[in-house]
Structure 1
Amino acid sequence: MRRCTLQIERLMAELVSEPDGPIHRLTLNIPSRRNAITPAHARSLAQEIERVEEAGEARVILLSGSGGHFCAGLDLHWLRSLGPNPGVADLQHGLSDFQSAVIAIVRCPVPVLAVVQGTAAGFGFDLALACDMRLAGSSATFTSAFARMGLVPDGGSTFTLPRLVGVGRSIRMLMTGETLSAREALSIGMVEEVIEDSTLDPGVRRTVNALLESAGSSIRSIKRLTRVPEVGALEQALSSEGAAQLQALQAPDFRVRLEAFAARFASRGQGA
């Protein structure tokens, strides 16, 4: 019981949930790992979005990360902790938890804005793409990263990215794992605005205020009309991604790729 309580307390500290009038702020708070997350963090994020929705007070949700980074993706420590031959059930459960956060964002009736500084990599990249808008600080960088580990995207980016930047550019980004700067992401339509890091908070506030000036009922209707039709196709994409990811995770050479990737990016705290 004590261990369970400590785990809950740790999760609460690592996902900060703050109401601020009509705005609700959700902040990934694991700065020592550039906010790389475990399945438990993703499930907690999904549940918190649902709680905010049920409370019915927020008109905008802001999703960000602490310590100058958005999210470096999957916490590789968790993946390595499963051992050299992880069970299929453990992998499926982890994938389900990660994907629940993506579905919660899309289904949420109020707009969810990703406020991205620093790293958005792997699942962190997918998480940003799932949001309704992406406001990038000038330091933001975006990379899928999965293919470099012998993995495939599992947070819906094979569906969400082509809708933003087109099929050809998406295939290039997902297959090569290229890293885009904030300005490059803006130029291809992947983010809606780039704001200097030094003025990020007031810049985000301006966009939020513009949303708040519109009728709440209109905002909800527009989100429903634009995002809900995607849900079925997104869920199918997530299912297909999950099946492909399970195969990739069990490939004979995956453990070698994982250790090489972990060693390469350990100093940067990057995940997948």
Structure 2
Amino acid sequence: MSRPGPVRVEWSGSVAQIVIDRGERRNALTDPMVRSLNQALAALADDPKVTGVIVTGVDGAFCAGADLDMVKSNTAAATEDTREYIEAEGQAIIRGLIALPVPTIAAIDGPALGLGFDLALACDSIFIGPSGWCMQAWGRLGLIDGTGGSLLLRHRNPTVLWRLLAEQPRITGSLGAELSIAEDTGERSARDVALERMHGFDHFTRDALTAYVDVQRTPIRAEIDAHLARTARVQANLLTSPEFTAAADRVLRSSRTDEREAKGTAHV
């Protein structure tokens, strides 16, 4: 029997679970995985039976960002090509999540770094389980959060970005709750608690749920397009700089001699 693809949709009643499955690299996203994610989001957005979407990962990870080898390869071209790549790939995931007409939850039972953290921030709720944690991580490579993280973070806690940039802490469930970024699931897995929360909405009509979503996301939807366009331009310049190449090479050299580092931080 063939193994399921690295991005798949599982169902619990009318609740869709988008599962990222590349456990050997802590679910770091390749270009085909990004495209599969975007296709799944588009299909769910058009499905009138869906009442909620959970994003999660397998093998003790959520998403360790974009695969760094892939990023280096895809951003070696001219700055304008890099900007178009950012907008067409990573930013499309964020747009797709924000466009979904139903509630969304990020269920984090492992590391969520860089793009993975931004993906979580694009959801309505973030649950962090006992083995889950998030990290801004972009700043460690001399990059900005090119997929909307600072805007999405500001809507949760207007001042927390500067602490995350300076300290680059692991945001566990308890710290996430303290910073008003996430909910701590205690000893239970984030995925189990997310499913329980979603099924708590079963008595709502879909029209009522979509109305809540529309009202709650209006401020973000009003800002996101301009924010992403601006950050794509800035990120393209940073990704094509010699400073980023040097920083990425340092991380990759470290990751190839330390398996733990490879699973934890060799991604953006």
Q: TM-score, normalised by structure 1?
A: 0.88
Q: Give the equivalent residue in structure 1 for 2:29.
A: 37
* Residues in 2 aligned to 1:130 and 1:203: alpha-carbon distance in whole angstroms: 19
Whether 1:244 aligns to 2:234 is yes
Whether 1:257 aligns to 2:247 is yes
**Which stretch of the first structure deviates more once superposed, 62-71 or 36-45?**
36-45
**Which stretch of the first structure deviates more once superposed, 212-221 or 66-75?**
212-221
* Residues in 2 aligned to 1:257 and 1:163: alpha-carbon distance in whole angstroms: 30
Count of residue pairs brought into register by the alignment: 260
How high is the sequence identity, in percent, across the aligned residues? 22
* Residues in 1 aligned to 2:169 and 2:132: alpha-carbon distance in whole angstroms: 14
Q: 1:227 aligns with which of 217, 228, 233?
A: 217
Cα deviation for residue 124 of structure 1 reads 0.2
Gaps of 5+ in 2: none
* Residues in 1 aligned to 2:113 and 2:123: alpha-carbon distance in whole angstroms: 15
Aligned ranges for residues 152-163 of structure 1 at < 5 Å?
A: 152-163=144-155
Structure holding more helix per residue? 1
- Secondary structure at the residue paired with 1:69? coil
Q: Give the equivalent residue in structure 1 for 2:174.
A: 183
The letter of the residue matching 1:218 is A
Q: Give the equivalent residue in structure 2 for 1:53.
A: 45
- Secondary structure at the residue paired with 2:5? helix
- Secondary structure at the residue paired with 1:232? helix
Q: TM-score, normalised by structure 2?
A: 0.89
- Secondary structure at the residue paired with 2:200? helix
CA contact (8 A) 2:103 2:124 kept: yes
Q: 1:129 aligns with which of 107, 110, 121?
A: 121
* Residues in 2 aligned to 1:187 and 1:174: alpha-carbon distance in whole angstroms: 17
The letter of the residue matching 2:207 is S
**Which stretch of the first structure deviates more once superposed, 232-241 or 208-217?**
208-217
Q: Give the equivalent residue in structure 2 for 1:211.
A: 201
* Residues in 2 aligned to 1:138 and 1:249: alpha-carbon distance in whole angstroms: 34
- Secondary structure at the residue paired with 2:147? coil
- Secondary structure at the residue paired with 2:131? coil
Q: Give the equivalent residue in structure 2 for 1:63.
A: 55
* Residues in 2 aligned to 1:38 and 1:246: alpha-carbon distance in whole angstroms: 18
User: Once the two structures are superposed, what CA deviation does each residue of 1:167-194 show, in whole Å capped at 9, x if it has no partner?
Assistant: 2x21221354332222101111111342
